[in-house]
Amino acid sequence: MAEKSKMMVIGGTRYIGKFVMKVSAKSGHPTFALMRESALSDPTKACIIEDFKSSNINIFQVSTQVKDQDMIVAAIKAAGNIKRFLPSEFRNDVDRVYSVEPAKAILAFKGKIRRIVDVKGIPHTYVCCNSFAGYILLTLAQLGATTPPRDKVFISGDEM
């Protein structure tokens, strides 16, 4: 019987990550999760994390933000044994979207990460879900909000 591939998911408590984690562990793959401290201390994610632990998923705490992906790419290249990299692309295809600030700066950085992945020759797949599952609509696209605003909505680019 062939050896199972090791799976590591960065951000395993979010929309796609939690499903990838469960399927990986259920399929018998040694599964690892890199999670932010904020995810580990978030009461709304406690149930998901306990489910991971009971599925023998190894959890490691790290500081991973979009801006840290260049370090992750460097580690992937240095390891030399990574079969596939699926970068954080849960919103839009950064090479095919026009945006205004503050999203424009984030998308530009994600584009930079794509170029680094290409240059380093790392096998990759971009999964662009175009803000599915109400990620944007949940708060009416108000950055930092946890609930929809009740009185006023800021529309990016509307100040032009």
For the stretch 102-157, pLDDT in tens is: 878 888 888 898 999 999 999 988 877 766 556 666 777 777 778 888 888 777 66
110 as an active site residue: the answer is yes
pTM for this entry:
0.65
What is the model's pLDDT at position 155? 74
Q: What is the CATH number of the domain that holds 118?
A: 3.40.50.720
**Quick check: is 16 in a domain?**
yes
Which of 6, 67, 110, 120 is labelled catalytic? 110
> Do residues 35 and 62 lie in contact, with contact meaning Cβ atoms separated by under 8 Å?
yes
Q: State the DSSP string of the chain.
A: -PPPPPEEEESTTSTTHHHHHHHHHHTT--EEEEE-HHHHT-GGGHHHHHHHHHTT-EEEE----GGGHHHHHHHHHHH-----B--S-SS--TTS----TTHHHHHHHHHHHHHHHHHHT--B------STTTTTGGGTT-TT-SS--SS----TTTT-
**Quick check: is 80 in a domain?**
yes
- Total domain count, the chain: 1
What is the model's pLDDT at position 8? 84
What is the model's pLDDT at position 27? 93
Residue-number span of the structural domain to which 128 is assigned = 7-139
**Quick check: is 36 in a domain?**
yes
Comparing 133 with 87, which gets the higher pLDDT?
87
